[in-house]
Structure 1
């Protein structure tokens, strides 16, 4: 267990176990049998999603493993106009199109605790506009929870939204958020409430928002980590400068199932 995982175990409830972890020591995506797939059914054709105001064209080549561990997402324009498509990165555990490009099928479920450590884009990226990194869940268009949405136009804030059976969420402002900052983001996916956490370190994680709604008992969804480029009005890119974001690790902790009691004869 790494120091990061050990510290996280002090935040999640007792009697939990680590069921998913990737510290990105290797590029495990884009091929059969890989943990991650670079395409998702959340995008109509797997790669682009203009209907959601995204300039994305996801490609495996927009992500690289950094020295010591971590994945770097690098979005760059594919045309001479900042308003055209941008090649960018997305990772999901969904085995899109049957799995020829990876996706091991892992899904989060009720009462899981998800922890991600990421660096937000810089102020010069795309002229300080359009950067839209996200950590979210997806399955069949109805199981989305936005663990983190961040926009460079409001660098000191993050959106946390539960989209399952109606939208409930909040915009949270924090000094932990800002251009180029590293931050830990956690979410406890409870049945009665989803609670989001932010921290400068794992030990400093603090609850910042709860939706008092939660997820159904049979809810399950794939993980998605990505860097979108926004085409929303007033959020479009202002320059052709590449956008970068980085994730050093993702972990999921799950309560240990209680053994069935013996029935007396």
Structure 2
């Protein structure tokens, strides 16, 4: 037998498919104590379906706006996960990534003016049962040329990676191969140009699996808080998950 890969999950966001029973995505997650907010982890987030919209031609726009007259209060913002939070009344089809899957996401990073150039914290990550978190991407507007990659499973191993592909308003492909011997992260301007930028030489357990999460957090970390009431946006045009399958030789 020889391996090949097949797409086991794909969304080009041609339609609104979240926030209702049977939808692919759910706007709430068990990674947040009440599903919608996560102040203990320095986030001003208040997740809501009204913060997300489909872009003409495909893609989802996540738009964070302040809920009060203070930039340091809660911000209504967007989150999408395949986790059927609270049993699934708001969506989440239950899809989980497995060991050796390759996740590929195309997104636009926030602009320089968003939130006064501060507080934008988009993330692509995995989650299940209070653990199983691998950060496929974390980006902060205070360090626009840097990506943060972390494997949190059974201890934290990660890296801060600087790349000319990263920056305010830039479109970028981000990938991660979730191997059992190592997790490897990739960056590229196209799917064909992806280059490995970090490997943790740790990997995930053979029985590991987790839901996908894509979100726009608003930071409450000291020095990273928003300085204006200007909305913050990010856009995701596609997400794919590739999985190895066996095929007969000959």
Q: TM-score range by the shorter chain?
A: over 0.9
Unaligned segments of structure 2, at least 5 residues: none
Q: Structure 1 residues 256, 14: CA separation in 2 closer, same or farther (over 3 Å shift)?
A: closer
Distance in 2 (CA, whole Å) between partners of 1:25 and 1:257 is 31
CA contact (8 A) 2:121 2:141 kept: yes
After the TM superposition, which residues 1-265 of structure 1 pair with which residues of structure 2 at under 5 Å, given as runs? 15-257=4-246
Distance in 2 of aligned mates of 1:223 and 1:192: 21
Shift of 1:54: 0.1
How large is the RMSD of aligned CA atoms in angstroms?
Answer: 1.0
Unaligned runs of 5+ in 1: 1-12, 260-265
The residue matched to 1:20 in structure 2 has which SS? strand
Higher strand share: 2
Hey, what does 1:6 align to over in structure 2? none
Give CA deviations for 1:73-120 in whole Å, capped at 9, x if unaligned. Answer: 000000000000000000000000000000000000000000000000
What TM-score results when the alignment is normalised by the length of structure 1?
0.92
Regions of 4+ moved over 4 Å: none
SS in 2 for 1:148: strand
3-state SS of paired residue (2:192): coil
CA distance in 1, matches of 2:9, 2:46: 27
Q: Normalising by structure 2, report the TM-score.
A: 0.98
Cα separation, partners in 2 of 1:14 and 1:205, compared to 1, 3 Å: farther
- 8 Å contact from structure 2 (residues 133, 153) kept in 1: yes
* Partner SS, residue 68 of structure 2: coil
Secondary structure of residue in 1 paired with 2:50:
helix
CA distances 1:152-210 after superposition (whole Å, capped 9, x unpaired): 00000010000000000000000000000000000000000000000011111000000
Verify the 8 A CA contact 2:112 2:168 in the aligned structure 1: yes
Q: Is the 8 A contact 2:3 2:246 kept in 1?
A: no
Matches of 1:156 and 1:14, distance apart in 2: 36
- 1:256 aligned counterpart, secondary structure: strand
- Quote the Cα distance in structure 1 between the aligned partners of 2:141 and 2:155: 26
Q: 1:17-48, CA deviations, whole angstroms, 9 ceiling, x for partnerless residues?
A: 10000000001000000000000000000000
Count of paired positions: 247
Q: Which secondary structure state, in structure 2, belongs to the residue aligned with residue 132 of structure 1? A: strand
Q: Write the distance in 2 (CA, Å) between the matches of 1:141 and 1:250.
A: 23
- Between the aligned partners of 2:33 and 2:108, the Cα distance in structure 1 is 28
